[in-house]
């Protein structure tokens, strides 16, 4: 299935900043592979509070595709307990390797403030985790207009219609949403920003983006192999791919229907998020998606940028996914 470029007033301009989390849930990593194999122009990949293993995982994956994307650390290097670090060996023999090339978010911001011509046309930011990175970019470059695709938020029955509400969200106009609650201060900055055009792929849509193990039986790309190993090393037959669906909306204009809204949160200890229609808003949220189209795209997936599956890559893939507790679909 050939994915078409978006044609609407919120379309991207070609270059991307992928802001990801690589621990535990495979969703963000599969999204990265998808973007690389679809020849998406990636300027920057940032990861939140990564371990050294995560840095090597990201660096080696980018190197496989000869990508020149800059690695940015959002936060600080973190040492996680064994059960909480990434479940991967694509980081390679990281203990004996030099630290991969990278900048901290602070270093990136300072460098571009001192050389503003470098940010003539900011990349579209894809947010697969908290909105910390995006909030810093909006605040530090207020004269730049940013575009973002954000996995998170919620649109209830008044926005999407009762017929499009997932069963678990019936008659609920507000619910907690994981990514937006990770950094409430950052989320508040994003919601009030005037130098931003943002699309949110919400819980009511992404919680139905299931990939079944039988959907990926054909194909020998890295995308296929990582998912095959994931299912072969875990007991379940399907996986909800929140971030993958969100990023696919950047390449397929008719996959998701969006409505312009304002997003707001409650003041609960665990805030609940809701949306209200606003035709003049600079934010839009997913109201429905074509599940059949999504499944068809997965079943008929073809990599445009196929890497040679040499022994190093194959060995890494075989060890990529260790058994993990089933993700709760919390995003």
Question: pLDDT (tens digit, 9 = 90+) per residue, 259-304?
Answer: 999 999 999 999 999 999 999 999 999 999 999 999 999 999 999 9
pLDDT in the model for residue 286? 96
5 assigned to some structural domain: no
pLDDT in the model for residue 203? 92
Mean pLDDT over 16-37 rounds to 91
126 assigned to some structural domain: yes
212 assigned to some structural domain: yes
144 assigned to some structural domain: yes
- Domain that residue 290 falls in: 15-318
- Of the pLDDT bands very low, low, confident and very high (cuts 50, 70, 90), residue 316 is very low
CATH of the domain at 251: 3.90.245.10
pLDDT in the model for residue 69? 94
328 assigned to some structural domain: no
- Of the pLDDT bands very low, low, confident and very high (cuts 50, 70, 90), residue 97 is low
Give the integer Cα–Cα distance in Å for 84 and 79.
Answer: 9
Which residue has 């009030």 as its token pair?
192
Indicate the length of the chain as a whole number: 331
325 assigned to some structural domain: no
In degrees, to the nearest 5, what angle opens at C-alpha 297 toward C-alphas 295 and 300?
105
8 assigned to some structural domain: no
Q: Would you say residue 325 has pLDDT above 70?
A: no
Which residue has 């299912």 as its token pair?
231
Secondary element (H or E) of residue 235: none
- Of the pLDDT bands very low, low, confident and very high (cuts 50, 70, 90), residue 311 is very low
Q: Would you say residue 242 has pLDDT above 70?
A: yes
This prediction's pTM: 0.88
Helices (H) and strands (E) in the chain, counts: 12, 12
Mean pLDDT over 226-251 rounds to 91
Q: Domain count of the chain?
A: 1
Mean pLDDT, the chain, whole residue set: 84
pLDDT in the model for residue 140? 94
pLDDT in the model for residue 56? 83
240 assigned to some structural domain: yes
Is 163 or 293 the better-scoring residue by pLDDT? Answer: 293
């Amino acid at each position: 299935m050939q994915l078409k470029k978006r044609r609407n007033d919120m379309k991207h301009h070609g270059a991307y900043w992928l802001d990801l989390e690589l621990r535990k849930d495979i969703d963000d990593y599969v999204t990265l592979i998808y973007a690389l194999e679809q020849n998406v122009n990636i300027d920057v990949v940032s990861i939140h509070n990564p371990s050294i293993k995560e840095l090597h995982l990201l660096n080696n994956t980018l190197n496989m595709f000869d990508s020149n994307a800059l690695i940015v650390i959002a936060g600080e290097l973190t040492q996680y307990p064994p059960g909480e670090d990434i479940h991967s060996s694509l980081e390679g023999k990281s203990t004996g390797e030099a630290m991969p090339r990278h900048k901290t978010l602070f270093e990136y911001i300072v460098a571009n403030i001192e050389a503003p011509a470098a940010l003539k046309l900011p990349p579209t930011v894809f947010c697969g985790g908290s909105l910390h990175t995006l909030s810093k970019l909006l605040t530090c470059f207020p004269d730049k207009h940013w575009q973002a695709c954000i996995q998170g938020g919620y649109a209830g029955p008044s926005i999407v219609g009762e017929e499009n509400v997932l069963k678990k969200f019936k008659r609920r106009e507000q619910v907690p949403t994981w990514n937006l609650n990770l950094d409430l201060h950052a989320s508040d900055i994003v919601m009030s920003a005037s130098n931003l055009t943002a699309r949110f792929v919400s819980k009511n849509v992404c919680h139905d983006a299931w990939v079944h193990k039988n959907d990926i039986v054909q194909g020998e790309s890295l995308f296929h192999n990582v998912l095959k190993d994931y299912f072969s090393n875990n007991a379940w037959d399907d996986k909800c791919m929140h971030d993958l669906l969100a990023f696919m909306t950047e390449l397929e204009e008719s996959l998701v229907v969006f409505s312009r809204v304002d997003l707001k949160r409650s003041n609960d200890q665990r805030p609940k998020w809701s949306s209200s229609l606003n035709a003049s808003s600079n934010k839009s949220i997913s109201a429905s998606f074509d599940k059949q189209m999504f499944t068809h795209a997965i079943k008929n997936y073809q990599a445009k940028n196929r890497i040679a599956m040499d022994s190093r890559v194959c060995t890494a893939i075989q060890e990529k996914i260790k058994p993990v507790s089933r993700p709760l679909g919390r995003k």
